[in-house]
Structure 1
Amino acid sequence: MDQTLGSIAAPVPVRVSATDDPAELLRFAIDAHAGGAVALATLVDIRGGAARTLGSHVVVAADGRFCGYVSGGCVEAAVASEALLAMADGCDRTVKFGDGSPFFDIVLPCGGGISLAIHVLRDVGALQHVLDRLGQRQAAGLAYSPEQQSLEPVDPPPRAGWLQRDFVGVYRPRTRVVLSGQTIEAQAVARLAEASGYDVIIRGQGEEGRAAGAIDRFTAVVLLHHDLDAEAAILEAALVSPGFYIGALGSSRTHRRRVERLTALAFGQDEIDRIKAPIGMFGPTRDATSLALSVLADVAAARLMAYA
C-alpha cells in the first residue's frame, strides 16, 4: 500500500467502506486509533452548493485506510492525502476544495467550495462519549477547537456549525421505525427499512406496550392495518409520544372515521393533525413495493424537516 515520493514512502489512500453513518465512522476511528494515528476530517464550511451537510466526516488511518464522505465522492481521496500529511506533521490543518481553493485541478461538480478541519486525534474519549450517547438513543455534540487542536463532548445545539471559535458537530440516533400491521404492505416496508439501515421494531399481536415504549423523538410510527380496531392501541400511544412521524394506512374516508373515533376519545386537533393519512409521499399505490417506497420516502422527508 505504499508509494515512493523521492526517498519518502507514503501510504496510498484506500477507501475501505462506503458508509456515511456517523456512528460507524467513529467506531472505525476508535478501532484504528488502537493501532496507530488517526485523523478526523470535518466539513466546517460550505460555499455555494454542496453534496453533504456541515459536520460530515472522513476518517483516515495512518496506513491510508479511510471512510466517510464530505462531498459526492470527488474529493475524499485528496482529503485523505491531506490527513496523512497532517498525521506525519503531528499538527491539525484546514484545507479548502472547490471555490476558493488552491487546488485548481479539483473542481466540485456543484460549483461551490468546502473547507475541512483535519484533526489528528490525541485520544478517543470524546468519540466514545458520542457512541455511548447514541447507544442510549440520545443526541450528542462534539466541539472542535482549531486553536487548542482539541475535541471535547458538549451538549448538542439544534444544528452543526460554528459557535464563537469552535465548530460543534451534532450526532443523532439513527431513525427507528415502529411498524404495526400483519399485512403484505408491512412486510415490504420492513424489508426496505432494514435495507435502508433503519432500526426496525415490528409490533406483534399483544405487544402494544413494548412498541409504545420504543417510541422516542427519532422514531417514525407506521400503521399498516386494514382495520381501525387493530391499530387503535398503538395509534393512541403514538399520539402522546414524541415520535417525529405517524402514518396510517387507509383512504380519506377511512381517515374521517379514524378522526371521529379519536375525537370521541378527547384527542385534540393538534394531536390528530400529526397523523399522515393516507400514508406515504405519493399515492394511491396499487402494490406493496410502491407503498413501501412511498412510506419510507415520507419518513425520510419528515426526519429531514424535523432535524435539518
Structure 2
Amino acid sequence: MPHSFSGLADLRQCTPQPAFLTDDSSEILRFAVEALMSGQAAALVTLVAIRGGAARSLGAQMVVREDGQYCGFVSGGCVESAAAFEALEVMASGRDREVCYGEGSPWFDIVLPCGGGITLTIHKLRSALPLLAVLNRLEQRQPAGLRYVPRTQRLSCLSALTRTGWYHDGFEMGFQPDVQLMILGRSLEAQATAELAAAAGYDIVASEPLPVPIDADTAVILLCHDLDRELPVLQAARDAHPFYVGALGSQRTHALRRQKLRDLGWRDEEIARIKAPIGIFPKARDARTLALSILADVAAARLHQGEE
C-alpha cells in the first residue's frame, strides 16, 4: 500500500473490491451518481497522462465508493486496487491528488506489463450535478464532456463535443452517445448481425418505417437484397452523416446502386461513403461470418471516428 491512511477510521478498514466489471463510461458515471445520491462519498479516478504504452486510452476512468467498492479501468487491471486505496485516502482527507504508476513512479512494486507509465488524477466528488448533466446529454444522444481543474479541485460538465486531453489548466474528457445500429432487412444475414450486435452490447433501432433516427453515432447496415428498399434509408442517411454506411451486394450490385444514386442527384463523394460490399474482409459467404465481418468493420470505423 503506497501510503498509510490518515483519515476516517472506517476507511482504514476498507479493502477495495470491484463491484462489477465494466469499461462503459455511462455505467461508471451512474455508479458514482448512485453512490452520491445514497449519501456515500465517492472519488473519480482519471487517466490523464501516458508514458510509453498503456492498456487504456487517455481519459479512461474508474469510480471508487467509500466502502471500497469500485468499477471501471484505468489500466489492464494491474493498478486498479492500488488506485482505489489512493481514492479512499482522498475521500478521507478531502484533498485531491495525482499519482503515477509504472515508468517514472516511486512505487517500484507496481509495474505495468506494457512497460510504460501512467498518471492518474483522483478527485473527491462533491456534487452529482456534473455527472448527471453528462448522462442527460448522452441519453438525448448528444455529445458531452467533463472538465477537471486540479488547482481548484472543480469538476464541470461541457455541453459540446469534447476532445480528451489537457487544455490550459484543466483536463477535459469527451463522451459520445452509444453506437446505435440500424439494420435493414429480414434476411438470415440481418438476423445473424442483429443477434451478434446485441451480444456485443450495441443498441439496435428499427429502420422501417421512416423517418429514422439517424445521427452521427449511427451505423447504417443494409442487408435486404433490394435496392429499391434501400433508397429511402440511404436518402435519410445522406444529410444525417452517420459514421458508417454499409450495404450488401457484389461489385455489380453496387455499380447499379451507384447509378441509381447518381440519377437522384448524389455526388460521387457522397456515394463513396457507402461501404460496399459490406464488411472488413471480402467474400464472407455464411451469415455468421458476414455478421462478424460487418461488426468488425463498424468497430474499426467507430475507433477511427474517435481519433479524428
Q: Where in structure 2 are the equivalents of 1:1-308 lying within 5 Å?
A: 9-33=12-36, 34-156=38-160, 158-204=162-208, 207-209=209-211, 211=212, 214-308=213-307
Q: TM-score, normalised by structure 2?
A: 0.94
Using the alignment, how far apart are the partners of 1:263 and 1:57 within structure 2? 46
The letter of the residue matching 1:166 is G
Using the alignment, how far apart are the partners of 2:303 and 2:140 within structure 1? 21
Using the alignment, how far apart are the partners of 2:161 and 2:120 within structure 1? 20
| Shift in Å, 1:155 | 3.9
Using the alignment, how far apart are the partners of 1:158 and 1:130 within structure 2? 12
Runs of 5+ consecutive residues of structure 2 not aligned to the other structure: none
| Shift in Å, 1:199 | 1.4
Using the alignment, how far apart are the partners of 1:295 and 1:191 within structure 2? 12
Runs of 5+ consecutive residues of structure 1 not aligned to the other structure: none
- Is residue 250–residue 278 contact of structure 1 (8 Å, CA) maintained in 2? yes
- Is residue 58–residue 67 contact of structure 1 (8 Å, CA) maintained in 2? yes
- SS of 1:296's partner is helix
- Is residue 239–residue 274 contact of structure 1 (8 Å, CA) maintained in 2? no
- SS of 2:87's partner is helix
- SS of 2:269's partner is helix
- Is residue 140–residue 154 contact of structure 1 (8 Å, CA) maintained in 2? yes
- Is residue 179–residue 202 contact of structure 2 (8 Å, CA) maintained in 1? yes
Deviates more, 1:72-81 or 1:195-204: 195-204
- Is residue 162–residue 172 contact of structure 2 (8 Å, CA) maintained in 1? no
- Is residue 156–residue 169 contact of structure 1 (8 Å, CA) maintained in 2? no
- SS of 2:294's partner is helix
Deviates more, 1:9-18 or 1:141-150: 9-18
Where has structure 1 moved over 3 Å in runs of 4 or more? 4-9, 155-158
| Shift in Å, 1:158 | 4.5
- Is residue 143–residue 162 contact of structure 2 (8 Å, CA) maintained in 1? no
Identity between Structure 1 and Structure 2 (%): 52
Q: Deviations over 1:242-265 (max 9, x none)?
A: 211100000111101110111111
- Is residue 280–residue 295 contact of structure 1 (8 Å, CA) maintained in 2? yes
Task: State the superposition RMSD in angstroms.
Answer: 1.7
